[in-house]
A and B are shown apart, each in its own frame.
Chain A
């Protein structure tokens, strides 16, 4: 059978899934954690604790007050040392709650037993409430608050919940391990999402390079009505929301619209697990699975990490010395992840992996002239013309960027990946896109 995929564009970067056989390990808790208040898309949360307050694991320490925002919970028990600006992944200092760890005491009412609770007692409203209360956000990387996705505007209906288990980024294996190790819980999570979205059908899209995960998931899903596990062709960016919907349902989300406009809600597989824990176990989002990897490292691993723990704890756990051969550290995957300024940066809700690159992989090749080969055009999954957008961005022609579709760019990086001249295509497209958004916002204000 021909595997499903999105119809145009895409590239095939080397997969490098080195840590795929490493079972998820629980990472020990360091003496201090830093929890940034803006770990999600939308308005940063507002701290509700102050210096000296005692907190337990799962205590709410900050509230998301805006419509698009999320609550934040303490990932450790201890005392609030300070609320101060702390360097985040970009090197900019942003407000964070710093907690000194003391023991590992959990908030009352959180069910930490491994027992699987299949029966979904809560009704749809309660589920949304619980997801919101637990501070669950999309764990694929974009960190969109999950409860907002399920607060459908008046008159809108979905017919399918799509679970994004594609993990098309090279190196990352966190979702793959989750599917193997937490299959039942994920499937209950999917059922919860189906219930809250009031749909009869859920599709779990997995890239075909994870045959064991596909096998396990489909075997267990067989007894569950409406849930379907669908293998997808290994093609980047299969895990991009719009491309995934196109591949699975052959529906095209119109430019500037949301998946709900074509009757879908898309959630990451890790989010499904977080939803299960939030709804069935009353457990807030205080930890996530992170892949720690690099082609030159003697050991790699997948870790269940408490939020706010510095990334270097994972290296310490593996006994890996980070030497001078590491030239770049990426938070997330190498295609869409962010280069960070060091391993002392704390893990956030959006950290799907920490990838270390060597000198050879870290640097870009020298930029050459565009030879108009058109590889960027055929690589773009959104049907844009990256070479043109680059040119327009470079010369600050933002109006033309807008009419040429810069705002549609999903920043997957396929164009830069494919360019034989190593041009900084995405850099300038993103620059154009940011300015297009700024101009549009200014126009709306008028």
Chain B
């Protein structure tokens, strides 16, 4: 036989054997014992690593879930993009009951569109809300309103929030939104909240965060909540979902029955809904928009 072939086979064989021994020793020495269930659970999660659960990525949540399951309670742990279905499957696998949470969606609490709150300043700089926020109150002068530079859009991993080029405000696509909360964290003005989706997708919210007195708020934005309190009175007595604090109305989504009564009494049109209210006032100015109504 050709000695070259013999030598090659022998040398390579020895190298391979040596490498195998080293690999075996090292693999054993540095082995980390890990609960195999973590891998399984991580496999069940969507794998988007959005961080909506509050853990660093899906694996982080999987570890937390397995740990919680050992204690017998998955309380509070939830994968927002995966939803109840995923959680139920994980609960079944881990043999622990899972509380069902209602579907939720992100809601933008600003109605200061280009027409309602016209710009009287011009921002020149990087397209970043966080940077504009550190510079000034905003092109329209509202220190609480949307800056319109799209930090929320950049933050969204699910392509569920987009700037409306006409209004200059972000709009949530409720079909795509998994309410992971990335936009909530990204917004320097804390304008985005996670609300329950509502029955048949009916939701009502105050699209304003301006805590200034009515006159001041109105000056910057025609659609500002002026804290008049009419909505509070309009809300059915048994429901009492609306509270007024710091010149600003707030509708508790947990209590709201989406009857739409408050919308019709709001003088500035600061309350928005995903549906056409029953008795809209014949006033043209109090226009109610229904962004992304399904």
Contact = CB atoms under 8 A, between A and B. Distances in A.
Interface in B204-223: 212, 216
B143 A92 contact: yes
Give the most central of A341, A362, A430: most B CB within 10 Å.
Answer: A341
Interface in B123-155: 124-126, 128, 130-131, 134-138, 141, 143
Nearest to B137: A91
Contacts of A91: 121, 136-138, 141, 143
A339 interface: yes
Interface residues on A, range: 10 to 19
Interface string A409-446: 00000000000000010011011001000000000000
A160 to B, nearest CB: 35
A93 B212 contact: yes
A112 interface: no
Interface residues of B, number: 16
A85 B141 CA distance: 14
B121 A341 contact: yes
A364 B136 contact: no
A368 interface: no
A34 to B, nearest CB: 15
A431 B135 contact: no
Interface in A338-381: 339, 341, 362-364, 367
Contact of A428 (B124, B126, B136, B143): B126
Nearest to A91: B137
A255 interface: no
Given A362-B124, A427-B131, A93 B216 contact: yes
B131 A431 contact: yes
B134 A434 contact: yes
Q: Is the interface of A mostly helix, strand, loop or mixed?
A: mixed
A424 B137 contact: no
Contact of A427 (B125, B138, B141, B212): B125
A126 interface: no
Interface in B95-143: 121, 124-126, 128, 130-131, 134-138, 141, 143
B19 to A, nearest CB: 36
Contacts of B134: 430-431, 434
B274 to A, nearest CB: 32
B246 to A, nearest CB: 12
Contacts of B141: 91, 341
Contacts of A85: 212, 216
A427 B129 CA distance: 12
B124 A363 contact: yes
A341 B143 CA distance: 13
B62 to A, nearest CB: 25
A50 interface: no
A362 B128 CA distance: 19
B216 A90 contact: no
Interface of B: 121, 124-126, 128, 130-131, 134-138, 141, 143, 212, 216
Q: Which 6 A-B pairs have the closest CB atoms?
A: A91-B137, A91-B136, A424-B126, A92-B143, A92-B137, A90-B136
Interface of A: 85, 87, 90-93, 339, 341, 362-364, 367, 424, 427-428, 430-431, 434
13 contacts: A85-B212, A85-B216, A90-B136, A91-B138, A93-B212, A93-B216, A339-B135, A341-B136, A424-B131, A427-B131, A428-B126, A431-B128, A431-B131
